[in-house]
Structure 1
């Protein structure tokens, strides 16, 4: 990893509402703008999107003329050591994983009062974008994506890493096909040795994970494990197979969504997809069980079920 200094970042952004533990952004913190040079090598071309941790930009590496993605930490987190550590930890985790089905990190850049992660640019968009019209995927396609994500979780498990935010918008594609899905946004990922039982309220709900894909133990601030990621992947598989979840987040308040996640009852995905094989219906239900002990023990256990029946 090379920690370098940025050059030519843009003007300060407007103030944003921040958590109570976050003060105003540090003096000298500047916003990335289109047309700016980063580290004398990357030219910002366009804004791709934004999330709880930061804004993602598309840029060009000037020497090789290759596209890269630039993730800029949100300025409201620059005075929060805990939040800033999550951002910097993302690069460390991706570098340790170095997996073909995760987004490839390139550089961690620090300067002008801000931090940026340079990573590979994936032009195929996200799974969330492809599911936007609530169209279920072919079963074979959904299983292909799931198997690739399970392989990532196996690698995470070996390194004792918990992702904590698996969801369709964090599964990206290298091109317009479904053949090369990659798991991204490791901003909430933790090494198990560093992980305490965290309540979402302790770090702010907007960056504690995505509520609709969050496991019951995350909601309750209890001990997390690889089964936490298996739950979120199971919810993602449910969405891929049916075009929906077992509850409708559009019709529920935040409190209503929490109640739906915590109650034992789940509607079987087969109700919304009659052609779904019984074994796959049961596998999804096991993955999204309220009680972690009732879920598959590890990613390989899920893979074994898929391999036996595919």
Structure 2
């Protein structure tokens, strides 16, 4: 059964997308800020996570981390591409790019929001972001016979900014103003909704004209994005079956919450209009995954209880 917070989340997600499309002249002011809003979401996600939790996760489960990284960057992209070549060939390249890109930097926040293992997701964000400049071009070259180049230095620099600055800020607050940090944590949900809405309005305001010109393509891309997210999240849960529900959710989010903003940028330079459109529409399941993951972990907890 849906809680009030779940209904509010759905309302915020879809209304902010609609506002971005219908009123781009107003919501376009948010376009420069998704990166900074993601950094603030990262800040919120790090409040309950101790640095020691991250290192202990890596120390205790190096094999599990390696398997998840290989699944995320190599195995799933190849399988997804083969599947879409059979059922939806025009979207095969876009599905390959989204499934093969790194885990999104907001994923740790989403994981902690629904009760997943945030430290595990954070590790996969770091590892996949460092490896994707090497793995994604290789996968694209092998499967699409196309050369692309991802700037390793720029990606590492952006990763450092988006991840390590929020970590540093959290640690500073813990030492200098722990009460303020506790207050921020109590307001985490409404603050996250504001960030989600602002990100959506910024992204979707850029697709307002395209939506009016080709609404069928937008709806089709949205459907494909939702199916793709379901496949990626399901694979994440399956590979962690038998593990605690928090680990299963963390694995699913690591696979499904991808860095679609990166694909929007790079697909625009190397592919046609369909691939970046699919990446933009992936913003819907990107945040929408919160609801099914929350329901899943509730069901698992109830079955154990």
Relative contact order, CA 8 A, sep 6+: which one is greater?
A: 2
Larger radius of gyration: 1
Relative to total residues, which structure has the larger strand share, 1 or 2? Answer: 1
Tell me, yes or no, whether TM beats 0.5: no
For normalisation by structure 1, the TM-score amounts to 0.25
Relative to total residues, which structure has the larger helix share, 1 or 2? Answer: 2
